[in-house]
Amino acid sequence: MNSFNFDTTGTAYYVDPKYHMMLQINQLWDPTGDNGKGDSIGRTFESYYTYRDKRFIDAIKSCWVKIDNKNNYYYQGFRFPTHDSNDMSRDHLFNSVLVLIASGHTEDEIKEFVTHVPWKISDKYNQTLDLWLWMRSISGIWWAKVLSPIVDITLMSINVLWQKICYAIAPFKPELSQEEFCSTPTPTKTKWIKTIGSALFPSYTMTQVAWKIHFTKNSISKTILKWLLLRIANKHNYVVKLLLDDSTVTKEQVYSYKSMMGGRWDGILNPYINDRDLHIIDDTRYSNYKQLLSSNVLDVDLVRSIYENKLNNI
């Protein structure tokens, strides 16, 4: 596994020196971007899971503000600790809860947080029923522990059926390997392909569901959810497959994976579906690629951490 350096700023992934959130350099076509600040909660959760530095926990907590409301209070979330805009999303609420689970917070501590996050997360987003129920189920509320898996299995069954239909009528081929994807010219997408592609169950949601299942206590419903999601999991998304205990993922696949820009584990290596600039960090585009990969290679280190944790039953 590559080294972790909390203080470096010359790598593709690096820690914000003031707010301790994990950032990533901008894409070459977007040199004035925000270095991923808007999506940094998810990246910082993955960093905590991988490197186990407790400063990442406090960084994510600092994205939330406790606001008194008459005789009660609620937590208002922001995408970054600077609290610049009120557009907190469900994804980042979800990742905020994941870091509490991964860091060993008690059910009561998690319950105190999730029960004080309002249904309307921000000016732009509301919670969904499945997220609302799951957060309460993992905090030990008995009726949510009953209802959450019922809702999750129902929704996942519908998603699996829909995904199968979309792949049949498009038709889309399975996900490519890194080498195949990077050597395949960008195809011309017809309006039909674009329409069906946009209707697919999102790859980033698959990854979130896999994390949800991973941190859920063993049960019949967990086994069913793993089986369902594996029916549609992207062929080469080793993070999703490992989180779902798929024994077909090999050591060679994990350790031969090369770091990519564009959010590899939330995307799909299928040129007809992919809508991101996913590419390997190498000398093809980056003259300083060795420096960029000298430490904090998060996407590589993450998949290796999950793999090694599975081997050691952690």
Nearest to 24 by CA among 292, 284, 311: 292
Residue where a domain stops, chosen among 127, 155, 176: 127
Pair (45, 83) in one structural domain: yes
| Residues 45, 95: Cα–Cα separation, whole Å | 6
pLDDT at 125 (0 to 100): 97
Q: Give domain status of residue 269, yes or no.
A: yes
Average pLDDT, the chain: 95
CB of 101 closer than 8 Å to CB of 110: yes
Choosing from 127, 155, 186, the residue where a domain stops is 127
pLDDT range class, residue 71, cuts 50, 70, 90: confident
Same domain membership, residue 273 and residue 147? yes
Is 295 a domain residue?
A: no
Cis before 81? omega within 30: no
Q: Tell whether 121 and 156 lie within a shared domain.
A: no
* Residue 170 within a domain: yes
Do residue 114 and residue 203 come from a single domain? no
Q: Examine the domain organization and report whether 151 and 276 are in the same domain.
A: yes
The verdict on 148 and 111 lying in the same domain is: no
Residue 63 CA to residue 26 CA, distance in Å, equals 22
Residues 153-173: what's their mean pLDDT? Answer: 95
Q: What is the pLDDT of residues 86-135, one digit of tens each?
A: 999 999 999 999 999 999 999 999 999 999 999 999 999 999 999 999 99
Distance, in Å, from the CA atom of 135 to the CA atom of 145, rounded to the nearest integer, reads 10
**Inter-residue contact 291 to 266 (CB < 8 Å):** no
What's the domain range around 10? 1-127
Strand partners, 302: none
Query: Is residue 206 situated within a structural domain?
Result: yes
Q: What is the mean pLDDT of residues 249-262?
A: 97
CA-CA-CA-CA torsion sign (207, 209, 212, 213): negative
Same domain for 227 and 197, yes or no, is: yes
The type of residue at 312 is: N
Query: 281 and 12 in contact (C-beta within 8 Å)?
Result: yes
Same domain, 107 and 155: no
pLDDT band at 2 (very low <50, low <70, confident <90, very high): low
Q: Are residues 107 and 208 part of one domain?
A: no
Asked whether residue 255 is assigned to any structural domain, the reply reads yes
Residue 300 falls inside a structural domain: no
- Same domain, yes or no: 171 and 225: yes
In 3D, which of 80, 136, 143 has the Cα closest to residue 113? 136
Do residue 89 and residue 170 come from a single domain?
no
Burial class (CB in 10 A: 0-12, 13-18, 19+), 302: buried
Distance CA 113, CA 140 (A): 13
| Residue-level pLDDT at 186 | 84
Domain total for the chain? 2
CA distance 2 to 5: 10
Residue 285 inside a domain? The answer is no
Is 306 within a domain? no
Structure tokens, 107: 């059910």
Average pLDDT (285-303) is 97
In degrees and rounded to multiples of 5, residue 46 shows phi and psi of -60, -35
Question: Angle at the Cα of 249 (from 276 to 209), degrees rounded to 5?
Answer: 55
Domain match, 200 and 115 both: no
Q: How far apart are CA 215 and CA 212, in angstroms?
A: 5
Q: What's the pLDDT at 163?
A: 96
For 175: left if phi > 0, alpha if psi spans -120 to 50, otherwise beta; the answer is beta
Residue 46 to residue 51: CA distance in whole angstroms: 8
Average pLDDT, stretch 167-189? Answer: 90
